């Protein structure tokens, strides 16, 4: 059959992108073996040249364990069983594929269009079998043994329960999928095929798998294990990273396309439970891995891949990267000090949008928090020093909060530093993120390491990292009134010191509002109901205002520091003052 592209169903000028990941992966493998940058540059003659006698493909697929995961073991390359039939099986397999190649130039337009690519007439499978010895006159159906996950009205119906007839598939689609086994690897126990917005980039990934499988075929025994077996997802990140490094060394494709999003189809076609799922790796995640290669973080990526074996699969490295969530393998665990500050900072700033200021402030807090006593230090550098969300170590968290106030009061930390470490995640009621405990715990083992200031694409920096102006206003007015009435020493003794002893609770914040409402506008009953009540009560009316209390304490400690500094007399020797 002739079409707009040339002879038969393939055409002499180019091969199209079908949008079917199984077909396009097979085409990418053939294109790479033909020396093409993309299968869109490939034609029918290239396919014939790569296939040649068919012996290479038959030998590869008879040894690759991935083949049975793609096609099962009921197809012509595995039936009939037994060593004495091995030669016959390979001849039969090669003959059928040769028949499919021949049909690409002589397709029957009356059969119907292909339901995989939607471009060309379906094949006549019986005709492809006619050259096979002893198989003339038989009726053959296209099932899972010819195309992954395709069901029939026969014994393969469980793969596609809604099927009421045989699928229409063109000879090209049936032919090229036979190259999937040498171009695939495992992720979480399932085989991978790819879809991507930029085909040359996808083909680079597939090409590296082909190279590795061919290497294994040259050095392995009779059967070749599938790449990635029993490896955590972090190994796939390592593989992607290494591929980017190779591309950079070869000076190929220095820039990714505008949309580098990658879809990985994870499937198994063997046994009684065939399955398929799509894992999406967003553009930013692909770029994260590429840029990690540019910064030379190879040993770090390798160490993180190893850390995956201690982590539940949903929270392993690949899933954390593609979901843009924090990764547990970055942090200290027992004797492991966590990843390097270089890698930690890159992950936090680039992927999570955490500002460099947050990391610097956390390290500063860690320095102030760690005791001078060596024996006491051992207790503080434990990975569970602050517990977790389910089992928080309240004692140590309170000590950390107290240290923050102390450091704000003596000028080692600022209010902004605190809110960089613990940004606001809810205003009504007022709550902050507890991620700061983890970051501070990390820096307890990295006190003096320099923190690189990577450029990050998006930052969460904003209002969440600033104290609410009304809290600052209330603290300022309360401080001035108190100091004016009772003096600075009594403020230190009766307010700051009592906070330190833990005697300021819910009644205190109510008294503050009462005092302010007597002297200033904006703090009356209506204002309390509209703002202050909602700030420290949940939807059930329960008091949850401990963060409000703490932020008021911080603001008052900061005001006290500034007042003290202004009262420091000028030093006549250097003509400097301690004021702000």
* Residue 142 to residue 404: CA distance in whole angstroms: 70
Q: Specify the pLDDT at position 456.
A: 61
**Exposed, middle or buried: residue 529 (CB in 10 Å: 0-12, 13-18, 19+)?**
exposed
The better pLDDT of the pair 392, 461 is held by 392
User: How much is the average pLDDT of 56-81?
Assistant: 93
461 and 547 part of one domain: no
**Does position 265 have pLDDT exceeding 90, yes or no?**
yes
Domain boundary, last residue among 400, 434, 465:
465
Q: Specify the pLDDT at position 165.
A: 64
* Residue 95 to residue 99: CA distance in whole angstroms: 6
The domain total for the chain is 3
Q: Specify the pLDDT at position 567.
A: 78
Question: Residue 201 falls within a domain, yes or no?
Answer: no
Q: Specify the pLDDT at position 527.
A: 81
Q: Specify the pLDDT at position 116.
A: 86
Inter-residue contact 472 to 364 (CB < 8 Å):
no
444 and 474 part of one domain: no
142 and 23 part of one domain: yes
Q: Which residue has the tokens 């002297």?
A: 519
Please, what is the Cα angle at 409 between 552 and 524, to 5 degrees? 20
561 and 479 part of one domain: yes
Q: Specify the pLDDT at position 556.
A: 97
Question: Residue 306 falls within a domain, yes or no?
Answer: no
Domain boundary, last residue among 158, 187, 216:
187
Task: Record the tokens describing residue 181, joined without a space.
Answer: 């086994």
Instruction: Place 489 in a pLDDT band, splitting at 50, 70 and 90.
Output: very high
Cis peptide before 80 (omega within 30 of 0): yes
The better pLDDT of the pair 568, 475 is held by 475
- Which residues span the domain enclosing 518? 469-567
Inter-residue contact 103 to 128 (CB < 8 Å):
yes
Question: Residue 10 falls within a domain, yes or no?
Answer: yes
Of the candidates 15, 8, 9, the one whose C-alpha atom is nearest the C-alpha of residue 40 is 15
Q: Measured in whole angstroms, how far is the alpha carbon of residue 232 from the centre of its chain? A: 14
Inter-residue contact 142 to 169 (CB < 8 Å):
yes
* Residue 540 to residue 144: CA distance in whole angstroms: 57
Q: Specify the pLDDT at position 164.
A: 54
Q: Which residue has the tokens 């591309």?
A: 247
Instruction: Place 408 in a pLDDT band, splitting at 50, 70 and 90.
Output: very high
Q: Specify the pLDDT at position 11.
A: 44
Task: Record the tokens describing residue 247, joined without a space.
Answer: 């591309």
Question: Residue 548 falls within a domain, yes or no?
Answer: yes
380 and 510 part of one domain: no
Alpha helix positions (H), 106-233: 125-129, 171-176, 199-219
Inter-residue contact 288 to 350 (CB < 8 Å):
yes
Q: Specify the pLDDT at position 326.
A: 96
Q: Specify the pLDDT at position 8.
A: 42
* Residue 201 to residue 243: CA distance in whole angstroms: 10
Inter-residue contact 466 to 416 (CB < 8 Å):
yes
Which residues on adjacent β-strands are paired with residue 502?
none
**Does position 134 have pLDDT exceeding 50, yes or no?**
yes
Domain boundary, last residue among 409, 432, 465:
465
458 and 490 part of one domain: no
Alpha carbon distances (Å) from 130 to 66, 99, 133, 139, 143: 28, 8, 8, 10, 18
Of the candidates 332, 214, 206, 348, the one whose C-alpha atom is nearest the C-alpha of residue 265 is 206
Which range has highest mean pLDDT (388-392, 478-482, 568-572)? Answer: 478-482
pLDDT in tens, 423-482: 999 999 999 999 999 999 999 999 999 999 986 655 555 677 889 999 999 999 999 999
Question: Residue 403 falls within a domain, yes or no?
Answer: yes
Q: Specify the pLDDT at position 577.
A: 35
380 and 519 part of one domain: no
446 and 485 part of one domain: no
* Residue 307 to residue 302: CA distance in whole angstroms: 9
Instruction: Place 306 in a pLDDT band, splitting at 50, 70 and 90.
Output: confident
Of the candidates 149, 264, 269, the one whose C-alpha atom is nearest the C-alpha of residue 209 is 264
User: How much is the average pLDDT of 201-217?
Assistant: 92
pLDDT in tens, 266-291: 998 877 778 889 999 998 898 898 88
Question: Dihedrals φ, ψ of 503, to 5°?
Answer: -100, 0
In b/e form, how buried is each residue of 83-99, taking b as 16+ CB within 10 angstroms?
A: eeeeeebbbbbbbbbbb
* Residue 116 to residue 169: CA distance in whole angstroms: 6
**Does position 56 have pLDDT exceeding 90, yes or no?**
yes
* Residue 93 to residue 182: CA distance in whole angstroms: 16
**Spatial CB neighbours of 147, under 8 Å, sequence gap ≥ 6:** 22, 116, 167, 169, 173, 174, 177
User: How much is the average pLDDT of 472-493?
Assistant: 96
* Residue 32 to residue 204: CA distance in whole angstroms: 9
Task: Record the tokens describing residue 498, joined without a space.
Answer: 């009592």
Instruction: Place 242 in a pLDDT band, splitting at 50, 70 and 90.
Output: confident
Question: Residue 241 falls within a domain, yes or no?
Answer: no
Task: Record the tokens describing residue 390, joined without a space.
Answer: 């389910």
33 and 45 part of one domain: yes
User: How much is the average pLDDT of 251-265?
Assistant: 75
Inter-residue contact 9 to 104 (CB < 8 Å):
yes
Question: Residue 156 falls within a domain, yes or no?
Answer: yes
pLDDT in tens, 177-197: 999 999 999 998 899 999 886
Asked which of 2-6, 257-261, 570-574 is least confident by mean pLDDT, the reply is: 2-6
Q: Specify the pLDDT at position 152.
A: 43
How many CB atoms are closer than 10 A to CB 479? 22
450 and 521 part of one domain: no
Q: Specify the pLDDT at position 272.
A: 73
Question: Residue 45 falls within a domain, yes or no?
Answer: yes
Asked which of 1-10, 118-127, 169-178, 558-567 is least confident by mean pLDDT, the reply is: 1-10
Please, what is the Cα angle at 412 between 407 and 415, to 5 degrees? 70
Q: What is the mean pLDDT of the chain?
A: 86
Instruction: Place 157 in a pLDDT band, splitting at 50, 70 and 90.
Output: very low
DSSP state of 465: G
Instruction: Place 136 in a pLDDT band, splitting at 50, 70 and 90.
Output: low
In b/e form, how buried is each residue of 261-288, taking b as 16+ CB within 10 angstroms?
A: bbebbbbbbbeeebebeebebbebbbbb
Of the candidates 312, 227, 268, the one whose C-alpha atom is nearest the C-alpha of residue 68 is 268
Question: Dihedrals φ, ψ of 266, to 5°?
Answer: -105, 120
**Does position 311 have pLDDT exceeding 90, yes or no?**
no
**Spatial CB neighbours of 435, under 8 Å, sequence gap ≥ 6:** 326, 422
12 and 156 part of one domain: yes
* Residue 64 to residue 217: CA distance in whole angstroms: 8
Question: DSSP labels for 343-410?
Answer: HHHHIIIIIT---HHHHHHHHHHHHHHS-SSHHHHHHHTSTTTTB-SSSB-HHHHHHHHHHHHHHHHT
**Does position 382 have pLDDT exceeding 80, yes or no?**
yes
25 and 164 part of one domain: yes
* Residue 352 to residue 571: CA distance in whole angstroms: 46
How many CB atoms are closer than 10 A to CB 511? 12
């Amino acid at each position: 059959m002739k079409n707009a592209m040339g002879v038969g169903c393939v055409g002499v000028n180019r091969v199209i992108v079908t949008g079917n990941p199984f077909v396009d992966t097979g085409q990418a493998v053939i294109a790479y073996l033909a020396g093409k940058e993309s299968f869109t540059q490939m034609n029918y003659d290239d396919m014939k040249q790569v296939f040649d006698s068919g012996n290479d493909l038959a030998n590869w697929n008879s040894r690759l364990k991935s083949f049975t995961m793609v096609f099962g073991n009921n197809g012509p390359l595995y039936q009939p069983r037994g060593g004495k039939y091995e030669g016959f099986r390979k001849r039969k397999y090669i003959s059928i594929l040769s028949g499919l190649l021949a049909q690409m130039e002589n397709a029957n337009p009356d059969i119907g269009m292909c339901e995989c690519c939607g471009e060309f007439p379906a094949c006549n499978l019986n005709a492809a079998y006619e050259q096979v010895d002893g198989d003339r006159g038989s009726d053959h159906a296209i099932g899972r043994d010819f195309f992954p996950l395709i069901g029939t009205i026969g014994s393969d119906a469980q793969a596609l329960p809604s099927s009421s007839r045989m699928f229409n598939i063109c000879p090209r689609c049936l032919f090229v999928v036979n190259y999937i086994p040498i171009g695939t690897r495992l992720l979480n126990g399932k085989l991978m095929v790819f879809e991507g917005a930029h085909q040359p980039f996808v083909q680079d990934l597939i090409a590296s798998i082909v190279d590795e499988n061919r290497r294994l075929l040259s050095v392995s025994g009779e059967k070749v294990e599938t790449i990635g077996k029993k490896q955590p997802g972090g190994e796939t990140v390592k593989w992607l990273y290494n591929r980017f490094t190779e591309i950079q060394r070869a000076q190929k494709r220095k820039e990714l396309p505008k949309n580098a999003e990658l879809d990985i189809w994870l499937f198994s076609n063997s046994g009684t439970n065939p399955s398929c799922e799509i894992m999406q790796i967003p553009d930013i995640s692909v770029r994260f891995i590429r840029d990690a290669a540019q910064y030379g973080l190879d040993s770090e990526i390798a160490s993180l891949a190893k850390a995956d074996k201690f982590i539940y699969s949903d929270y392993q490295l690949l899933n954390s990267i593609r979901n843009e969530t924090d990764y547990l393998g970055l942090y200290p665990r027992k004797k492991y000090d966590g990843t390097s500050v270089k890698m930690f900072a890159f992950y936090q700033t680039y992927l999570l949008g955490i500002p460099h200021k947050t990391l610097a402030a956390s390290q500063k807090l860690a320095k102030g928090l760690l005791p001078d006593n060596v024996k006491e230090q051992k207790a503080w550098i434990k990975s569970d020093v602050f517990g977790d969300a389910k089992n928080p170590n309240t004692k140590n968290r309170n000590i950390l909060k107290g240290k923050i106030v102390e450091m704000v009061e003596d000028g080692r930390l600022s209010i902004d530093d605190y809110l960089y470490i613990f940004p606001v995640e809810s205003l009504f009621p007022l709550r902050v993120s507890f991620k700061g405990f983890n970051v501070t715990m990390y820096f307890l083992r990295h006190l003096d390491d320099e923190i690189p200031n990577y450029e990050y694409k998006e930052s969460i920096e904003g209002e969440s990292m600033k104290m609410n102006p009304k809290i600052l206003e209330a603290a300022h007015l309360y401080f001035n009134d108190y100091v004016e009435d009772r003096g600075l020493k009594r403020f230190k003794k009766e307010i700051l010191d009592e906070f330190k002893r833990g005697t300021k609770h819910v009644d205190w914040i109510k008294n503050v509002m009462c005092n302010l409402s007597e002297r200033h506008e904006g703090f009356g009953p209506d204002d309390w109901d509209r703002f202050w009540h909602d700030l420290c009560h949940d939807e059930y009316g329960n008091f949850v205002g401990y963060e409000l209390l703490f932020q008021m304490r911080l603001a008052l400690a900061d005001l006290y520091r500034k007042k003290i500094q202004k009262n420091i007399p000028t030093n006549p020797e250097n003509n400097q003052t301690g004021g702000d």
